[in-house]
Amino acid sequence: MPDSQPHATPAPSEIQFPPGIAWIDGSFVPMSEARIPVLDWGFLRSDATYDVVHVWKNRFFRLDKHLDRFLASVAKLRMSLPFDREGLEALLHETVVKSGLEDAYVEMICTRGHSPTFSRDPRDAINRFIAFAIPFGWIADETQRARGLRMIVASVPRIPAASVDPTVKNYHWLDMVKGLYEAYDRGGENVLLKDLEGFLTEGPGFNLFAVKDGKVHTPDRGVLEGITRQTALDLCRELGIPAQVAPLSMETLTGAEEAFVTSTAGGIVAIASIDGQALPASPGAITRRLSDLYWAKHEDPGWTTPILTR
């Protein structure tokens, strides 16, 4: 049944923050003290980009690829960072060390900032960089990871790529949030969105894969080119599993033998059902093989970077 009970909003004095640490405006502060001015365009206009890399057992996973994507996104949005790539990487290492966490969710953010003269011209804004490390978070809880996610395909369409480039990781999530509430109202746990042509795209924080006739399919449009998405494709190649990046229809998804999502926040997670219709297997054989190899790669020096301490 849908969750019809409203969720209580805690009083400001009751709001809890996770352990961890943030770097903002040139210094490290506890997560409870990490704040941006209300005039920052990242807050006012969602004018920001970000990336998230995880640390598992004191090792970054595919850090280089996350740095590549983040720096490309910053450049596409005509922003700038206060340091070069080596400085950025060193700061992320220091953030993890100061957090004291062995398994962490590490985020890097660049906002437009704001103009010292309050100009409405984005070229006058001084960009702001933020980084933080908090405990590793999962896109699905333990029960959901074991049995698979109950997924709903929402009626609300994904923001068109012609309007907001989905390859630039961004905070334009109101379509996703609207879709999530629709999923909850319909008894689902998470949501997938279609584009204006009716092809499947992605969900909030994850990419989609369907397995049909032994072949893995993932959308080629309207999606963030996720690092875990690319990792799944790399693992398919290593395991000799055929994979296709192409438009993905509802017919392919609902007719699939198995399906899964990919995310930095948890790796490869099975889908149990679509719009209340159970898939034949959850998790399926291919999902299990990919997930097992995914976690094995966390001990591979070719895929990981040890946390550097000074």
Ranges of CATH 3.30.470.10 domains, the chain: 17-135
Yes or no: say if 192 and 208 are a contact pair by the CB < 8 Å rule. yes
Instruction: Quote the pLDDT of residue 13.
Output: 61
Whether 198 shows a pLDDT value over 50: the answer reads yes
- Omega of the bond leading into 12 within 30 degrees of 0 (cis): no
Instruction: Quote the pLDDT of residue 252.
Output: 97
Instruction: Quote the pLDDT of residue 16.
Output: 86
* pLDDT tens figures, 16-49: 899 999 999 999 999 999 999 999 999 999 999 9
The residue with tokens 């997938």 is 192
> In the beta sheet, which residues pair with residue 274?
151, 277
* pLDDT tens figures, 128-171: 999 999 999 999 999 999 999 999 999 999 999 999 999 999 99
Whether 212 shows a pLDDT value over 60: the answer reads yes
The residue with tokens 């969105």 is 193
d(CA 137, CA 134): 8
Whether 309 shows a pLDDT value over 90: the answer reads no
Whether 111 shows a pLDDT value over 70: the answer reads yes
Tell me the average pLDDT across 192-208.
98
Structure tokens belonging to residue 63:
């850090």
pTM greater than the 0.85 cutoff: yes
Ranges of CATH 3.20.10.10 domains, the chain: 142-298
Q: What is the DSSP string of 219-241?
A: --SSS---HHHHHHHHHHHHHT-
Q: Given this structure, which CATH class describes domain 142-298?
A: alpha beta
Instruction: Quote the pLDDT of residue 4.
Output: 46
Where would I find the beta strands (DSSP E) of 143-222? 149-153, 190-192, 202-203, 206-212, 215-218
* pLDDT tens figures, 216-257: 999 999 999 999 999 999 999 999 999 999 999 999 999 999
Fold designation for 17-135: D-amino Acid Aminotransferase; Chain A, domain 1 (3.30.470)
Whether 12 shows a pLDDT value over 90: the answer reads no
Instruction: Quote the pLDDT of residue 37.
Output: 94
Nearest CA to 104 out of 58, 136, 139, 62 is that of 136
Whether 2 shows a pLDDT value over 60: the answer reads no
Residue bearing the bigger pLDDT, 11 or 206: 206
Whether 14 shows a pLDDT value over 80: the answer reads no
Average pLDDT of the chain to the nearest whole number: 95
d(CA 71, CA 96): 20
* pLDDT tens figures, 260-298: 999 999 999 999 999 999 999 999 999 999 999 999 999
Tell me the average pLDDT across 71-89.
97
Structure tokens belonging to residue 262:
């990919």
Tell me the average pLDDT across 64-81.
98
